Amino acid sequence: MPVIHANHIDDWHIADTLGNTLGTVAAIFVTVGLIGRDRTYNHILIKLVTLSLVVVELVALPLLGEPLDLPDTVATLLAGGCCALGYYLLDQSWPAPPP
């Protein structure tokens, strides 16, 4: 159990949301790194992973008895958007691969 929760410290969901945000970034780029192919496919993959994580937050967790955590859902969407923007900007800075 995390130290914040074990000691009953009210952190206004910062630790949970921060962990969820970093987990989203890791999930996106590990997936792109493992099964990514080309630029278009990778952009689709980033959107798909983000959408999948939002579905887990909104549907799967409440079905398992966990409360709906709206800050985590918003953090997932923001992290996915930042990853998509970061990948796009990085992608524009590299030359196109030869055909």
How many domains are contained in the chain?
1
50, part of any domain: yes
* 87 inside domain: no
Q: Is residue 3 part of a domain?
A: no
Q: How many CB atoms lie within 10 A of CB 57?
A: 22
| CA within 13 Å, CB half, 14 | 5
Low-confidence residues of the chain, pLDDT below 70?
1-2
* The pLDDT value given to residue 2: 66
- Please give the Cα distance from 34 to 15 (Å, whole number): 28
